[in-house]
Each structure stands twice: as structure tokens, then as C-alpha cells.
């Protein structure tokens, strides 16, 4: 009996595109192994950034509210839409044009390039498996929406060990939906990620220990793809729950890449990608 609730799909299989899209349709999430992203690179990024978060050097990279790059301290963090408690996390937003700490190597940037290429391939799968009436809604091919975009970002996230004095209702990540088209998330080093299925039940998303050495990568649909597809691909609510026992003493590191279209892309009659993002960042308290 697996300890998680999602099928783990082999990226190399002939039926991977079809099964991948079916999984996105059913839960908003899909889990892939044996993608082109080297496991060793992911591990290297994890090690370097855990050390960075453990150091005082991060203080020099406080996030820029205008550009949205840099280090978001636990005090800034994020308050999920509709919630009042801040999440128990800190993170760094790495853009291709933004700041990258001198204390880490270029591994994260190399990883981001590969993750973006993977996301573009998967977006092609999503497009191929969209029924004609859904495809007709896309203002341009999905893969074209991200071409030349400078909005895609790598978020390197660290959930610190719990001290025991956290507010009772604070979570590592409160239930939320992602804003972007697709999110590429290499399986975290620790469990905790859950997604609310369409029937309302919380499902456990696999983590690295569920597929050792297979380079497990989790993908999920964001609100922009839900908007562009008229709901054909649902953007589902997910959260990161707090660990108990031994796990509470460990940090959890994860590094989602949020694939964003160019700001001028029309997602629907109501929204361009730019207007949509601005509205959502304001709701998160990250933009004045």
C-alpha cells in the first residue's frame, strides 16, 4: 500500500502524455519519474540553498516589492488568499534577470533552464490533449504563451524546523492555488504536500522517498491554465502540513518553478496574464 495517493508516471513511456493529462484533469497534479532533469543537479541545489538559508548572508538580499526578486523572510512570507496567518516558510525568488546570491553556484540557474524546458514540453502535451473546443479558447498555442517570457521564476523554499511556539493554526503552507500556468516541483526532501481532490478529500502527494533515485518531479496546474482552458484543467488547492515527531526538527526544502506567460498574453476575455498576476499579488500582500 503506497503512502501517497497519486500514480507515478514514467516520462519516457509512450502513453505518458495521455496519462499525464488525465492525472492533471483528475487532481490538478501529476507525478513523473525519469525526466531529463538530472537528480544530482536537484540534490546539489538543495544542499547549497539549505546552507544559504542557514547563514546570515540572506539578509543582504531582502526582496524587492517592485521586481519581486530576492529573499522573502519568514516575517514577510506569504498569507494565502483568504487566510490571516503567515505561512511558516522563507523563500528566494530567482528570475533569469534577477539577483542570485554570491554564496551559491550557478546550479540553481542551470536547474531553472532545464525545468523551464521540461515545462514547455509538458505544456505541449497539455495542448495536444485539449479537446478542440478547449483548444479554440487558447488565444495562441500554449507553448507560444511562454516563449520569450521573463516572468517565469524559480522559488527556492525552506520550511524551518518547528520550534514548538508556532501559532496553533499556522501551517508550513496554508491551502492555496498557484497563479501561473504550470508548476514544476521536484519532489521535496520531506513529506507534507497534500492536494484537495475534486471530491474534497486531501490526497498525499509523493515525496522523494516514494521513488528513490528516480528523479521524481511533481507538476501541477495553476489558475492561469484553468482560466485559459475554461476550467478543463482545474487548478486545485494544495497545502503543506506541519510535521510531527522527529520530522519537526528537520528543514523541508522545495523548489517549484512557476511557469508564467508573457504579460501581454490574453488568457480569457476577462484577463491578460499581466492584469491577472497583479491582482493576485495584491491579494497575497506582496504588492502594494
Which residues lie near Fe ion (CB under 5 A)?
178
Q: Which stretch binds ligand AKG (CB under 6 A): 45-53, 62-70, 125-133, 185-193?
A: 185-193
d(CA 239, CA 83): 12
User: Which residue in this structure is represented by grid cell 526532501?
Assistant: 189
CB of 178 to ligand AKG, least distance (A): 5
Per-residue binder mask for ligand AKG (CB under 6 A), 48-87, x = binder? ----------------------------------------
**Is 99 or 155 the residue whose CB approaches ligand AKG more closely?**
155
User: Out of 17, 70, 256, 261, which residue is the one contacting ligand AKG (CB under 6 A)?
Assistant: 256
CB of 227 to ligand AKG, least distance (A): 17
- Distance, C-alpha 219 to centroid of its chain: 8
d(CA 227, CA 269): 10
Site for ligand AKG in 235-254 (CB under 6 A): 238, 240, 254
Q: Give the number of C-alpha atoms closer than 13 A to the C-alpha of residue 131, restricted to the C-beta side.
A: 8
**Is 155 or 250 the residue whose CB approaches ligand AKG more closely?**
155
Q: Give the number of C-alpha atoms closer than 13 A to the C-alpha of residue 223, restricted to the C-beta side.
A: 15
Under the binding rule (CB under 6 A), the answer on residue 4 touching ligand AKG is no
User: Out of 126, 193, 195, 257, which residue is the one contacting ligand AKG (CB under 6 A)?
Assistant: 193
d(CA 274, CA 282): 13
CA distances from 216 to 10, 37, 113, 212 (A): 9, 10, 18, 8
Amino acid at each position: 500500500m503506497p503512502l501517497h495517493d497519486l500514480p507515478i508516471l514514467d516520462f519516457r513511456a509512450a502513453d505518458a502524455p495521455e496519462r499525464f493529462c488525465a492525472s492533471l484533469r483528475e487532481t490538478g497534479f501529476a507525478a513523473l519519474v525519469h525526466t531529463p532533469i538530472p537528480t544530482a543537479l536537484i540534490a546539489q541545489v538543495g544542499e547549497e540553498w539549505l546552507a544559504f538559508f542557514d547563514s546570515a548572508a540572506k539578509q543582504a538580499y531582502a526582496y524587492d516589492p517592485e521586481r519581486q526578486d530576492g529573499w522573502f523572510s519568514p516575517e514577510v512570507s506569504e498569507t494565502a488568499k483568504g487566510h490571516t496567518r503567515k505561512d511558516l516558510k522563507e523563500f528566494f525568488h530567482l528570475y533569469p534577470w534577477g539577483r542570485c546570491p554570491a554564496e551559491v553556484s550557478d546550479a540553481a540557474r542551470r536547474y531553472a533552464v532545464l525545468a523551464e524546458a521540461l515545462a514547455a514540453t509538458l505544456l505541449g502535451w497539455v495542448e495536444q490533449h485539449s479537446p478542440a473546443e478547449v483548444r479554440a479558447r487558447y488565444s495562441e498555442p500554449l507553448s507560444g504563451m511562454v516563449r520569450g517570457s521573463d516572468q517565469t521564476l524559480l522559488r527556492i523554499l525552506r520550511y524551518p524546523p518547528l520550534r514548538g511556539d508556532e501559532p496553533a493554526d499556522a501551517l508550513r503552507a496554508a491551502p492555496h492555488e498557484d497563479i501561473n500556468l504550470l508548476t514544476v516541483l521536484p519532489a521535496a526532501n520531506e513529506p507534507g504536500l497534500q492536494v484537495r481532490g475534486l471530491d474534497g478529500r486531501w490526497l498525499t502527494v509523493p515525496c522523494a522517498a516514494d521513488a528513490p533515485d528516480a528523479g521524481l518531479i511533481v507538476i501541477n496546474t495553476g489558475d492561469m491554465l484553468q482560466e485559459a482552458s475554461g476550467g478543463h484543467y482545474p487548478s486545485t488547492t494544495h497545502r503543506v502540513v506541519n510535521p510531527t515527531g522527529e520530522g519537526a526538527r528537520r528543514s523541508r526544502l522545495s523548489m517549484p518553478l512557476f511557469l508564467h506567460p508573457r504579460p501581454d498574453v490574453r488568457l480569457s476575455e476577462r484577463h491578460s496574464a499581466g492584469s491577472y498576476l497583479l491582482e493576485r499579488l495584491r491579494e497575497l500582500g506582496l504588492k502594494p
